[in-house]
Amino acid sequence: MSTNWNRRDFIKKSSAATLAALAASAPIASMLSGCGKSKWGANAATADTVILLWMAGGMAHTETFDPKRYTPFEKGMEGNRVLSTFKSLPTALDGIHFSEGLQSIGKVMDKGTLIRSYVAADMGHILHSRHQYHWHTCYEPPQTVAAPHIGSWIAKELGPKNPVIPAFIDIGQRMTVGEAEELKAFHTSGFLGNEYAPFFIPDPRQGLESVRPPVGMDAKRFEKRNQLYNDLISKSAVGELGSDYQKESLKRSMEQAYMLLNSPEAKAFDLSQEPKESYDIYNTGRFGLGCLLAKRLTEQGARFISVTTEYEPFMGFDTHENGHTRMVDMKKMIDAPVAQLIKDLDKSGHLDRTLVIIASEFSRDMMVEGRPDAKVLEQVNQPDILSEMKFYGMHRHFTDGCSMLMFGGGIKKGFVYGKTADERPCKSIENPVKIDQVHQTIYHTLGIPEDTQYEVEKRPFYTTPDGKGKAIMDLLA
């Protein structure tokens, strides 16, 4: 069991790690000695692009892709009786049901794999940002160096598919909401350099604004501002204290952004060019339109795209109360766009080489906080007897059984992996899956060797801790 970290500790340690990566006594150029020849060799890639659809906040498995016995609300009922607050409905896979409200995704499950046994890390007191950091980097925070996001690893190892389109694009997460500093801690390329950092599009409806000069600014004026920005960067902490590697990496990232501004591919960011019939299917809000933008950017050669329902404390899937009614709305937000994305990629021929992942940092339960054999401090006032509708739903954080979906990119079709118990605690009981296995499975589909590493602070830093992660070969077609 790890030490209990509070939010302030996490921010302080993460910030220190970032500064350490910047101002380390050894220049990063020498720290990044490079990935040596893999002793394993590169496997044949089955995917070129990854789309991560991130269900931020803790998506309850028993309310989505792993429904259990349904118990309707009754005033005065025992909370321990409630395993699912929705009916279960059949999917395209015989004998496999999804929770009511996810019928569209259920209809495309013959094209993908359902994982029902992901187990989130045991890190003591549960903080969403810490578990999200762990999921996205494969490293438990805090670290002595800034761990790269999985999208940055992929951008570094494979480079852009299209030199004009940013290799790593992050859609939907604002950095102006609660826990912004914690979110920034893993939305980073870490020690790999700025050119592999995410290209942020907080609102897909304003995607075009991200790739063109402000209204009223002509090309000459923009060029002048670009030069001024370069001058400012040279006088910044990176410019004055950074290594040659950092400076060159930052310069290349700026050149890539400038190249995009002047390219015809920039039209991919303009959702107004999408046919109305298609736009309307995706238009369930920012997440749905983020899926549409991901489709368009995949067609233009993006390498790694993350689309999130957005993490904001006590919003979205962070259901600390009114769990059932909140889930009704969240399902309306994700069901049609996710299913349409799979269908559109399949129709255009891109799904075969695009790995689509639907995941969340952990699950939820009504009665158990953490996991049965390692309960942690309860953060929700969930009574044993439900006197009001607001208590009906999955409000506590549950780490011992989570669902994940994968489509395309060499993943099996119509396949189910893992199992959770049918009675509380609905924990993983077959083929438990850990995050290093998830990351290595993704890397395997992309042809990235499992022992990929760089020398940082005179020690190897692998894509997974100590390079011990192994791909789950049973998931691969």
* pLDDT range class, residue 379, cuts 50, 70, 90: confident
Q: Which residue has the higher pLDDT, 106 or 38?
A: 106
Q: How far apart are the first and last CA of the chain?
A: 36
Is the model's pLDDT at 6 over the cut of 80?
Answer: no
Phi and psi angles of residue 119, each rounded to the nearest 5 degrees, phi first: -120, 115
pLDDT of residue 237: 58
User: DSSP assignment of 218-278, as one string?
Assistant: -HHHHHHHHHHHHHHHHTSHHHHHS-HHHHHHHHHHHHHHHHHHTSGGGGGG-GGGS-HHH
Confidence at residue 219, expressed as pLDDT on a 0 to 100 scale: 58
Strands 77-78 and 385-386: what pairing? antiparallel
Range in 207-221, 275-289, 321-335, 433-447 the model is least confident about: 207-221
Q: Does domain 7-205+272-475 have CATH number 1.10.760.10?
A: no
- Confidence class for position 43, pLDDT limits 50, 70, 90: confident
Beta-carbon contacts of 414 under 8 Å, excluding residues fewer than 6 positions away, are: 92, 93, 109, 110, 111, 112
pLDDT digits (tens, 9 = 90+) for 396-425: 999 999 999 999 999 999 999 999 999 999
What rounded mean pLDDT belongs to the chain? 87
Distance CA 303, CA 439 (A): 16
The whole-angstrom separation of Cα 137 and Cα 131 is: 10
What residue spans define the domains of the chain?
7-205+272-475
**Across 464-472, average pLDDT:** 96
pLDDT in tens, 321-333: 999 999 999 999 9
Q: Which of 472, 471, 409, 419 is nearest to 52 (CA)?
A: 409
Distance CA 137, CA 434 (A): 13
Residue 408: name the closest of 171, 56, 112 by CA: 112
Is 427 strand, coil or helix?
Answer: coil
Q: Respond yes or no on whether the N-terminal peptide bond of residue 204 is cis (omega within 30° of 0).
A: no
Could you count the other beta carbons within 10 Å of the beta carbon of residue 280?
12
Q: Check residue 37 and report its DSSP letter.
A: P
- Which percentage of the chain shows pLDDT scores above 90? 71
Calculate mean pLDDT across residues 140-144.
Answer: 91
Residue 198 has pLDDT above 60, yes or no: yes
Q: Is 86 exposed, middle or buried (0-12, 13-18, 19+ CB in 10 A)?
A: buried
DSSP H or E run through 52: strand 49-54
441 pLDDT higher than 70: yes
pLDDT of 310: 97
* 162: Cβ contacts below 8 Å, ≥ 6 apart: 265, 300, 301, 302
Q: Which residue has the tokens 């002047």?
A: 262
User: 186: closest CA among 238, 234, 134?
Assistant: 134
pLDDT of residue 29: 38
**CB of 435 within 8 A of CB of 121?**
yes
Cβ contacts of 464 within 8 Å, gap of 6 or more: 138, 436, 439, 440, 450
How big is the CA angle at 182 (ends 250 and 188), to the nearest 5 degrees? 25
Contacts of 388 (CB under 8 A, 6+ apart): 75
- Name the packing angle between helices 150-158 and 435-446 (round to 10°): 20
Kindly report the number of other CB atoms within 10 A of residue 367's CB atom.
19
Q: Give the chain's length.
A: 477
Predicted local distance difference test score (pLDDT) of residue 260:
67
Q: pLDDT at position 123, please?
A: 87
Residue type, 189: S
CB 294 within 8 A of CB 407: no
- Alpha-carbon distances of 198 from 170, 201, 304, rounded to whole Å: 6, 9, 9
Q: Given this model, what pLDDT does residue 428 score?
A: 98
At which residue do the structure tokens 């489709």 appear? 295
For the chain, give the percent of residues with pLDDT over 70.
80
Alpha carbons within 13 angstroms on the beta-carbon side of residue 390 total 5
Question: pLDDT per residue over 165-186, tens digit each?
Answer: 999 999 999 999 989 999 999 9
What pLDDT is recorded for position 235?
Answer: 62
